[in-house]
Amino acid sequence: MPTIDQLDPAQATADADLLPLSQNGSVRHASRAQLLATTQPKLTLSQGLLLGRASSGVGAPEPLMLGANLAMVGNTLTVGTSPLLNEALPIEAFGARGDGMTDDSAALAAAIATGRPVRLSAKTYVVNGQFTIATANTALIGTPGLSSLKRLTQTGNGAWISIQAPNFMADGVIFDANRAAVSQDSWAVLVTSACPQADFHRCAFRNASGATLGSGLVFLASDPAPSTHIVRDCEFSGNTVHGLWVQAVNGMQISDSRAHDNGQYGFCVDYNDPTFYQKARAVQVCGCSAWANTRGIAIGNFNSTNAQPPVWGNANPDAVGIVVSGNSCHDNTAYGIAAAGRALGIHGNMLVNNGTAPGGAGILANVAFSRIANNVVSGASTYGIDCGGSINSDISCNFIDGAVIGLNVGGSIQLRVADNDVQNCAQWAILVANVETDANGLNFGIACANLTLADNWIAMPTVTAGGIQLRDGPNQVSVLRNNFSGGTLGLCLFANTDSVSIEGNRWNLAPRFICNPVARSGMQTVVYPDIADVIMLTAVTSPVQSMISAYQAVCQGQVSFVRLTAGGTGYTHASVAVGGPGTGATASAVISNGVIVGIVVGATGSGYGAIGAALPIVITGDGTGAAAIGYAAPPVPEERALLVRCNTGVAFVRAGSSPIQENWTGADLVVPSNGDVEWRGTWGGWRARGFPH
């Protein structure tokens, strides 16, 4: 019998052709039509699908969809531009379901353990805590806004996801801590000090739980070791504590991100090291938005001891060399931006409708050796910019509109406040208290000195709104070349101090003011605006016996301020009694570290004597050595300049004048018509300096 290969070849085949086969041990035949009857004549797929098998086990082929960053171009399957995607492994290859219910923690761990980037589809993968990532070069790549890791359960506190890898990257991943299901106090995503390089791009951090640890993304303290952390185009929302909390790291860039509806701060850069060693350094927060938080952006803190109860001050700053620029913060209840530290640059930010809580502000800046500049602050907060307690800093070129108090710069040392535009403030455009306290009465431990208020534009919206108020005797204040408009001339400046220089200020750009003498308290008195350093007399019927400012006239007989001459030692409490002929004045001592740093006048009383009269002050308490002197209305400040242009002949009385009008003749000074005389404040009175040429 011939073999098959010995048979003649068939010339063609047809459905009726017969083929031999063995069936149950018997030789039988079957036609070609019978053999092909159960096969699919052709494969049919929709455009954009591949043929494969997604189900587990052996079975028929199934159509597969193209994943993220994959596309069909003609007959070619192409990959997106990300080099990581060329190496990425889909988490489904490790058994992940991504149905939002099945625990995919083991699948994610297995995928990460390969050392290859892990690709997440547009699904919700359940990853339960605690989950640790320690594999070097871990990268999670998802579809922004669609790929989600979600926690359903948590074992213990600590972190939901702890990143301990030497470097880590996540792009396009939602980290949902799901506080509705997991209520225990725990970090959400925690970058530990073992990870000096982390890059989060187009990620979201949501719903962390717990009153202490409940922040969306946290970078643990690693300073002084350098780090290169990046957070860009990310979103933080619905977290119980902070959206993003950066502790003491040395190198961090936060850009183009959003934080909203977090229980405390949107973006927080701060760390309380009790040894004052670890600090946040070289951090940038740029181009971000924050809204509906307690604080939008918080940098450092003003607690110089890093312990409770706090001791406010600039010692031991927690944030050094930080830039906060180009951000938009709106509708945060306490502060749009709150910054405390050294070498901070807070500039070019937009702050709108922040600080609606009592004592709130668009910007809170308790800073040292820093610059707060070119910010726009709008809204009816208590303060536009609150810089109380700052030292050696520059507050310039800001635009402030609509606050109750535009700029609060009290209790500060060596501060330059210049070129700001302050508009429509309900009370004061600029407020300067000698000693500053917080809302709970805790003081900042320093008294105001060496303050320059220069070249500011101040618009007073009503006849009750004021320009600049100096309160309780701040030292060495310069009020120079400020332009006031609107309101009333008399409210441009209230200066409760004997230590102020006033030069070149204008109201409605008037170059000088006509201030003819009037009868007041039995004396022919020239009452000049407090901002003026040039006035003109055009109608004088009798010799001038007194020259006082409008505010001195208002305060006559009242205790204006109390000048502390010695702070003493050993005080934990002290009381202050005002002597003199008047009644009703009260004052209190401000104590810091056993030393009295200032006296605050409570009630001004009445009947305390002539303008500038010195009043005895008695300080009692458990310490020793404190001394002070009070003043019935502010005296003429030392070297206060007043140029008087006489459009008519004027005699200035020497004997019996009040304040004293001294001159080189020892007698009355007569200035002829069209003559000028320049007066200078000297020992609480006036001294004629000479006749200008």
599 and 566 share one domain: yes
pLDDT digits (tens, 9 = 90+) for 98-107: 999 999 999 9
Per residue in 350-380, is it b (16+ CB within 10 Å) or e — as a string?
bbbbbbeeeebbbbbbbbbbbbbbebbbbbb
Q: Which amino acid is at 566?
A: A
What is the arithmetic mean of pLDDT over 413-430? Answer: 98
Which pLDDT does position 14 carry in this prediction? 79
pLDDT at 530 > cutoff 90: yes
| 659 lies in some domain | yes
Distance CA 530, CA 287 (A): 43
Residue 634 has pLDDT above 70, yes or no: yes
Burial of 137 (0-12, 13-18, 19+ CB in 10 A): middle
End-of-domain residue from the set 632, 658, 679: 632
Whether residue 345 is predicted with pLDDT greater than 60 in this model: the reply is: yes
Query: Token pair of 373, please?
Result: 């500049």
Identify whether 92 is part of a domain.
no
Mapping DSSP to helix (H, G, I), strand (E, B) and coil, where does residue 538 land? coil
Is 581 domain-assigned?
yes
Cα torsion 600, 420, 300, 237 to 10°: value is 120
Q: Is 581 in the same domain as 677?
A: no
Does residue 44 form part of some domain? no
The mean per-residue pLDDT over the stretch 333-357 comes to 97
Length of the chain measured in residues: 693
Q: Are residues 550 and 562 located together in one domain of the fold?
A: no
**Residue 489: helix, strand or coil by DSSP?**
helix
Is the model's pLDDT at 625 over the cut of 60?
Answer: yes
Instruction: Say if residue 519 is in the same domain as residue 618.
Output: no
Mean pLDDT estimate for the chain: 92
SS3 at position 110: helix
pLDDT in tens, 263-321: 999 999 999 999 999 999 999 999 999 999 999 999 999 999 999 889 999 999 999 99
Confidence at 651, pLDDT banded by 50, 70, 90: very high
Q: Are 195 and 168 in contact (CB under 8 A)?
A: yes
29 — pLDDT class (breaks 50, 70, 90)? confident
How large is the average pLDDT for residues 507-531?
95
For the stretch 183-221, pLDDT in tens is: 999 999 999 999 999 999 999 999 999 999 999 999 999
Kindly state whether residue 607 falls inside one of the protein's structural domains: yes
Residue 74's pLDDT is what?
Answer: 56
Cα 238 versus chain centre, distance: 20
Report residue 78's pLDDT band, with 50, 70 and 90 as the boundaries.
low
Determine the average pLDDT of the residues in 249-264.
98
pLDDT of residue 38: 67
Asked if 531 contacts 493 with a C-beta cutoff of 8 angstroms, the reply is yes
User: What are the backbone dihedrals phi and psi of residue 92, each rounded to the nearest 5 degrees, phi first?
Assistant: -65, -25
Can you name the residues that pair with 50 across neighbouring β-strands?
64
At 42 the pLDDT is: 62
Q: What percent of the chain has pLDDT over 90?
A: 84
Q: Considering its fold, how many domains does the chain have in total?
A: 2
Residue numbers of the domain that contains 529:
513-554+636-690
Q: Where are the beta strands (DSSP E) in 194-234?
A: 197-201, 204-206, 217-219, 226-232
Q: Does residue 662 register a pLDDT over 70?
A: yes
**pLDDT computed for residue 566 by the predictor:** 97
Is the pLDDT at 163 greater than 90? The verdict is: yes
Last residue of a domain, one of 611, 632, 653: 632
pLDDT at position 34: 76
Report yes or no: 175 and 188 within 8 Å, Cβ to Cβ: yes
Give tens-digit pLDDT for 440-469: 888 999 999 999 999 999 999 999 999 999
Question: Tokens 């050993």 — which residue?
Answer: 570
Q: Give pTM, 2 decimals.
A: 0.86
Does the pLDDT at position 39 exceed 90? no
Indicate whether 599 and 640 sit together in one domain: no
> Among residues 594, 609, 632, which one ends one of the domains?
632
Whether 81 has a pLDDT exceeding 90, the answer reads no
For residue 627, being part of any structural domain is answered with yes
Q: Average pLDDT, stretch 594-622?
A: 96
Residue, of 45 and 602, whose pLDDT is higher:
602
Q: What is the pLDDT of residue 524?
A: 97
**pLDDT tier, 12 (very low <50, low <70, confident <90, very high otherwise):** confident
Residue 617: inside a domain: yes
**Inside any domain, residue 499:** no
Backbone angles phi, psi at 570, to 5 degrees: 75, 20
For residue 145, what are its two tokens?
Answer: 């806004």
Question: Mind listing the pLDDT tens digit for each residue in 351-389?
Answer: 999 999 999 999 999 999 999 999 999 999 999 999 999
